[in-house]
Structure 1
């Protein structure tokens, strides 16, 4: 994946026959600020965990089998997954084989969450989902999030199959995100096919700002066997994101023998697969999309203008280009959108 934007410099001749409204991008949309539809879950009874590590719940079958894990609250203001884990924990759990771990990750950031300022409290000091690099973990680097990564690592290092639950700032189609290892694609396919409306399945080579949990070497090493994928369940704080998180987590657990089997519904949509090829980074404070795209939008024709960045045009590099998690208000130097080729 290239982190260079697909750009065309827009000199005067480029705009010769365009109206002023076509040259100037629309005003930047406001950050989503509506009151959360689904209130934050009360995790009081789950914070201590049941195995000596805060927020970690272990369940043993006492029979041979894989270690299955579901994680939530990588970011303190993404609590749809926490709702899902709390509901699953409220029911009796007895894996039929192997072991199960349900993990609330960034408890400190979640404890600081304020519904009056829901866009804040993604993390306390740094993004926990950019820290999963062995060299960094072994280094002297320290923060609230780094200390939590080190606390959880003995558990993560024994997990064979992991589902990480997230949500998104801007409206978007549901998607399952995986690294490039083929075993992770197969895992995401299996998980998507268990749903009537399958999430989009997107492969990428990692995040440019640092390795995510699904990129941790245990799950992404081409020669390894452990698998992981990330669910983006929809927009933060919506009931639909909570429902999608719970549905996907239950399907995942049922597929691995952690809960009783679930009926497999007839699909109403075909599964869309795409591979990220480009990361568009905002080079100026004036970066703006030409309209309010949604995550998962597929732009049919190569060369379609999607954004203006200073004097640069951002155009799609190929036909059937998917926009992956567009940030409609990117800061300079931050990712504005990832572009993916539909497979």
Structure 2
């Protein structure tokens, strides 16, 4: 795969959606009892498939039949900084928006923490959240359900994609999908994070539309006929759950992979060398080890997770 994959679709002009309940956040009320459902995009500014979906929902004037629908473009400043000559830089402005949710009680000193403070009351209001992401590298779509049984059950109810990843997030900080009641096993709130595929592949938009349509219908705020035509795709025959057991982080950014992995590779034998970090071997801890979202080509910084290891359950 080339270092910079091709951009296979046009980016939407989102400035028309600036004015809402808050900048780039729209709250659509049905006036009838029901859940508050949130579809979030651009948690990372170069993950555009989700923005295309939210732009399309707003453009089609989709309204909830019951409850409330919240639609957001999260790190909009990062999105507006996009430069096709350096397309990966617009992931963020100052820091990762999806690692700040455990410290929102602290002073907001970055673009991302200030924006998270704006999003916070809307996220707290949501009963059900779908956070639309994509990936640096080409990989099959993944549904990140979080560590709790309720997240796995919700992912199975959506019915796609094939791989459900049960994981506890990142040592670098709390994700939005784990914030508040979403991460509380006693709360009825629930959240999913979909990785639709490589950032700029047309196939990522297809996945984002399909999953969003399924999510909105499953929550009951809309019926399928309310959504743009052609969003639903065939349902896979089966799904599988991969439970993450290890997150391998590079100590000083010096990790080198033993080979290029595609993601969701199943490594048959325990002790297989995956690469070296500061010349120390990183090996699989058990047979049939699944490599979840390996960092095969991206620049690395100290402390960044380079691969997560999981068991099929």
Shift, 1:257, TM fit: 2.3
Alignment match, 2:295: 327
SS of match in other structure, 1:248? helix
Relative to structure 1, the CA distance from residue 265 to residue 35 in structure 2 (aligned partners, 3 Å threshold; closer, same or farther) is closer
User: Against the structure 1 CA distance between its residues 116 and 266, is the aligned structure 2 distance closer, same or farther, given a 3 Å change threshold?
Assistant: closer
Deviates more, 1:258-267 or 1:65-74: 258-267
Inter-CA distance 291–139: structure 2 relative to 1 (3 Å threshold): same
Q: Does 1:189 align with 2:156?
A: yes
Cα separation, 2, equivalents of 1:152 and 1:272: 32
CA RMSD of aligned residues (A): 1.9
SS state at 1:138 partner: coil
Distance 1:169 1:265 in 2: 23
8 A contact 2:166–2:244 mirrored in 1: yes
CA drift of 1:302 comes to: 1.7
Unaligned runs of 5+ in 2: 226-230
- Bigger CA drift: 259-268 or 177-186? 259-268
2:29 is equivalent to residue 60 of structure 1: yes
SS of structure 2 residue aligned to 1:231: strand
- Distance in 2, matches of 1:338 and 1:82, equals 27
TM-score, length-scaled by structure 1 = 0.84
Matches within 5 A, 1:248-287: 248-261=211-224, 267-287=235-255
In structure 2, C-alpha distance between the alignment counterparts of 1:141 and 1:184, rounded to whole Å:
29
Structure 2 counterpart of 1:98: 67
Residue 284 of structure 2 corresponds to which residue in structure 1? 316
Question: Equivalent residue for 1:45?
Answer: 16
C-alpha contact 2:266 2:289 (8 A) present in aligned 1: yes
Partner of residue 338, structure 1: 308
CA distance in 1, matches of 2:128, 2:114: 23
**Higher RCO (C-alpha under 8 Å, 6+ residues apart):** 1
Is 2:45 aligned against 1:76?
A: yes
Structure 1 pair 265/325, CA: closer, same or farther in 2 (3 Å)? closer
Q: Does 2:252 correspond to 1:295? A: no
Tell me, in whole angstroms, the C-alpha distance in 1 between the residues paired with 2:302 and 2:96: 18
Counterparts of 2:303 and 2:18, CA distance in 1: 36
Contact 2:210 2:232 in 1 (8 A): no
Tell me: CA distance 1:141–1:88, structure 2 relative to 1, closer, same or farther (3 Å).
Answer: closer
Mark the structure with the bigger radius of gyration. Answer: 1
* Superposed displacement of residue 286, structure 1: 4.0
Specify whether residues 302 and 159 from structure 1 end up closer, same or farther in structure 2 by C-alpha distance, changes over 3 A only. Answer: same
Give, in whole Å, the separation in 2 of the partners of 1:250 and 1:265: 10
Match for residue 134 of structure 2 among 160, 167, 174: 167
| Alignment partner of 2:187 out of 213, 219, 224 | 224
Unaligned runs of 5+ in 1: 1-28
Q: Deviations over 1:257-309 (max 9, x none)?
A: 23323798764442110111111112355421121101211212222222122
Q: 1:97 to 1:54 in 2, by over 3 A?
A: same
State whether structure 2 residue 88 is matched by structure 1 residue 125: no
User: Relative to 1, partners in 2 of residues 1:128 and 1:265: Cα closer, same or farther, differing over 3 Å?
Assistant: closer
The match for 1:18 is none
Secondary structure of residue in 1 paired with 2:119: helix
* 207-216 or 278-287, which deviates more: 278-287
Q: Check the 8 A contact 1:255/1:261 in 2, yes or no.
A: no
* Alpha carbons of structure 1 residues 83 and 264: separation in structure 2 relative to 1, 3 Å: closer
Name the CA shift for 1:60/1:338 in 2 (closer, same or farther; >3 Å).
same
Q: Calculate the TM-score normalised by the size of structure 2.
A: 0.92
- C-alpha distance in 2 between matches for 1:284 and 1:130: 19
Query: What SS does the aligned partner of 2:131 have?
Result: strand
